[in-house]
């Protein structure tokens, strides 16, 4: 999808996300919408791929600017993640109660 088409979709997707969704769901939709990330790539994204002060994300070895939409979703999820699992050793951005204590990415069943 061309970049201009993606950016036109963001306000509509943002509006949909004002409904009752979790911070994790909001992040997944933002990453899939803005960066066309597939579920596997989202599950394998690590904290080391995120640079919040510079508002960058590393995708396939390339640094990309975090859109405002993705930045807000990411910050929201990371706050929730820290609140729920403050000492989780898992470096993946998305974790669950099952994966928090380990080091593996989420599976489709966690």
**103, pLDDT greater than 60:** yes
Classify strands 62-65 and 56-59 as parallel, antiparallel or unpaired: antiparallel
- What local confidence, expressed as pLDDT, does residue 107 receive? 87
pLDDT digits 0-9 by tens, 59-79: 999 999 999 999 999 999 999
Q: Under the phi-then-psi rule, with left for phi > 0, alpha for psi from -120 to 50, and beta for the rest, what region is 59?
A: beta
Q: Which residue has the tokens 């508002």?
A: 55
Query: How far apart are the C-alpha atoms of 50 and 58, rounded to whole Å?
Result: 7
Beta-ladder partners of 92: 46
Question: Do residues 23 and 75 touch, judged by C-beta distance below 8 A?
Answer: no
Q: Name the pTM for this structure.
A: 0.80
pLDDT digits 0-9 by tens, 5-55: 555 555 555 555 566 789 999 999 999 999 999 999 999 999 999 999 999
Residue ranges of the domains in the chain? 3-84
């Amino acid at each position: 999808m061309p970049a201009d088409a993606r950016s036109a979709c963001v306000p509509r997707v943002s509006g949909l996300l004002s409904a009752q969704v979790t911070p994790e769901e909001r992040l997944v939709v933002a990453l899939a919408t803005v960066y066309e990330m597939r579920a596997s790539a989202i599950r394998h994204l690590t904290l080391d791929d995120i640079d919040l002060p510079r508002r960058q994300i590393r995708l396939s070895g390339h640094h990309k600017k975090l859109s405002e939409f993705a930045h807000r979703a990411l910050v929201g999820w990371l706050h929730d993640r820290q609140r729920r699992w403050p000492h989780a050793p898992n470096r993946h951005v998305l974790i669950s109660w099952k994966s928090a204590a380990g080091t593996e990415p989420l599976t489709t069943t966690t």
